[in-house]
Every structure is written in C-alpha cells, then in structure tokens.
Amino acid sequence: MTVDPRLDLSINAGIARLTIRRPDKLNALDADMVEALLPLCHRIERSDARVVILTGEGGRSFCAGGDIAAWSQLPPDDFSRHWLRDGHAAFDALARLVQPVIAVLNGHCLGGGLELAACADYRLAEAHVRIGLPETSLGIIPGWSGTQRTVRRFGAGVVRRMALFGEVFDAEEAQRLGLVDQVVPTGEGMAAAEALAAKVTARAPRATEITKMLINAAEGEERERVLEVLAGGVAAASSDLREGLSAFREKRPARFDRISGSQKAE
C-alpha cells in the first residue's frame, strides 16, 4: 500500500479520521499524496469504520487543491494521463465509500479542495472559511470533477459563478447556496463533526450503506456499479446460489426451486 505521512488515517470506535497534514503548503496535494489517497480509501472501505471524518491540519486551509509546483511543470500528456486521471481515481474512491463522509472545512476550500470536499456526504464549514474555484484564472480547468461532480451536487448555476466568473463565497453564503450543510464557529468544526458521526453510528450500518449507495446512484454517481452490487447481494442471499454451487461441486444438474429465498409462497 502506498503510504504518505502527510495523509494521516486513524480508525477508532467506528470512526475513521482522515487528516491532510501539510499546513505549511495549505494542505495542497502533490502527486505522492494523490497516489496515497486511493489505497487509504480501500483501507477505510474494508475496515469496521461506520463513518469518515475528513479534514485538514491547521486553521488556514482545509485543502488548497493540487500543489501548483507539482503539476505546473508536467508535460501536457503527463498532466492529463496521470495527474488528472490519478486524481479522479482517488476522489471517485472517496465519494463512493460505503461509509458516510463528513468533511470539516476548518480553513479555506479552493479549487481541488472544493472538489475534494464535494466527495463528502456532509460539509461542515467553520465561520472564517472561503470557498471558490479559481482554476481558470491560472489558465487551467477544475480537473478533478470540478465541472462534473460539483455540478451534480451543487448545481450548475453556483459552479458557473465560481469557475467562470471567479466568485468566492464566505461560509454563510456558501450555506445559503448549498455548498455546505452547516456553519459553526471557528474552532468548533471537529466537535460538530463528532456529534454528527455519533448519529451515524447509532443507525443500522447495512441500511445506511445501502441508502448511501442508492442516493449516489440517483445522483448519477456510479449508477451501474450500484445496481450490480445490490442485485448481486440479492442473488448471493438466495437458495439459487447455494444450489448452483452445490451442483457444480457435485458435478450434477442444478435443481432450482421456482421461488428461491428464505420463504416460499404457500
């Protein structure tokens, strides 16, 4: 597994805490950090965590997005084939975790930082936070689903205002526009997230996972995979599978009941 000490993951009492620890660079992500994020998501997915809290170290920036020094010197082919594709793979994995994800925006959330926050199911913003998509002022596009997932989750109008016209919103305006779900006083984001996490862990885990997957599918996030995963789960729980595997092992024709499952019609 790719490991980067600037991405800190701890799992305790059903809560996974994923913290970006690069405050000297405003928690900007370089290529090594992007590469490390994907296996961390796989680790969370397979853990006993029931909910994820995502945040950045310090109070200046939740995440400043992609480190300009990391991508600005890349040849165009490497930029598109690796930097953007790797970022998509990592962010998709975060957005598609079966566990609900709470993002604590404890500092400014710009560019790729907002694309990262958009992967969460709930966004808590501290009062001093500012949010925007400044990429076009640098001659680049919001390339980690800043024109796709952000539009699905926040609406095209507000994304146009940030990405095309350069508007940057404070926390209260961001909440009014639906970019964040809750605003709390500066310094209180983590406590509010932990209270939310406790509500999640009190609910039925499997029902919560399935409900999140269905919401994602309705939103256009991984619709095909969700359908097959849920349908596959139904098939795997049926007596058809048990009979089919038994017949295979015993080298005989399968004898399927007309109605499978734990109960049959009278």
Task: List, by residue number, the catalytic residues.
Answer: 115, 135
Count of CB atoms situated within 10 Å of the CB of 78: 13
- According to DSSP, the residues that pair with 122 across neighbouring strands are 102
Q: Write the burial class of residue 10 (CB in 10 Å: 0-12 exposed, 13-18 middle, 19+ buried).
A: exposed
d(CA 87, CA 222): 17
Buried b (16+ CB within 10 A) or exposed e, 224-257: eebeeeeeeeeeeebeeeeeeeeeeeeeeeeeee
Number of alpha helices (DSSP H) and beta strands (DSSP E) in the chain: 12, 10
H/E element holding 5?
Answer: none
Within a 13 Å sphere around the CA of 24, how many CA atoms are in the beta-carbon half? Answer: 1
